[in-house]
Amino acid sequence: MKRHLRTIFVVSLILVSAGCTRKPGPASALKPTAFGAALVESSGGKQIGATGMVLAQPLVVQVNDERGTAVTGALVEFLGPAGVSFDPPSGLTDSSGQLSTNVAVGGIAGRYQLTAHTPTKAQKSVELKIEEIALGYQQQVGYQLDDKYCARCHNPESTPERVSNYDNLEVKPHPFTEGVTLNKMSDAELTAIISHGGPALNKSALMPPYGYTLSKAEIEALISYIRLISDPPYHVSGMVYAQK
pLDDT, tens digit, 9 for 90 and up, residues 162-218: 888 888 889 999 999 999 999 999 999 999 999 999 999 999 999 999 999 999 999
Res 18: pLDDT: 43
Beta strand pairing call for 125-135 and 48-50: parallel
Mean pLDDT of the chain: 88
Fold classified for 2-135: Immunoglobulin-like (2.60.40)
Res 160: pLDDT: 80
Largest distance between two CA atoms of the chain: 64
More confident residue, 209 or 14: 209
Single pTM value for the model: 0.81
Res 28: pLDDT: 60
Per the CATH hierarchy, to which homologous superfamily does domain 137-229 belong?
Answer: Cytochrome c-like domain (1.10.760.10)
pLDDT band at 16 (very low <50, low <70, confident <90, very high): low
pLDDT band at 240 (very low <50, low <70, confident <90, very high): very low
H helical segments located in 59-173: 137-145, 151-154
The domain limits of the chain are 2-135, 137-229
Over the stretch 56-96, which tens digit does the pLDDT of each residue have? 999 999 999 999 999 999 999 999 999 999 999 999 999 99
60: β partners: 43, 100
> 174 vs 47, 184, 214, CA distance in Å?
20, 13, 20
Angle at 41 between CA 98 and CA 51, to 5 degrees: 105
Sheet holding 125-135, edge to edge: 48-50, 125-135, 110-119, 75-79, 90-92
Check for a shared fold between 2-135 and 137-229. Answer: no
Residue 230 and residue 222 in contact, taking contact as beta carbons nearer than 8 Å: no
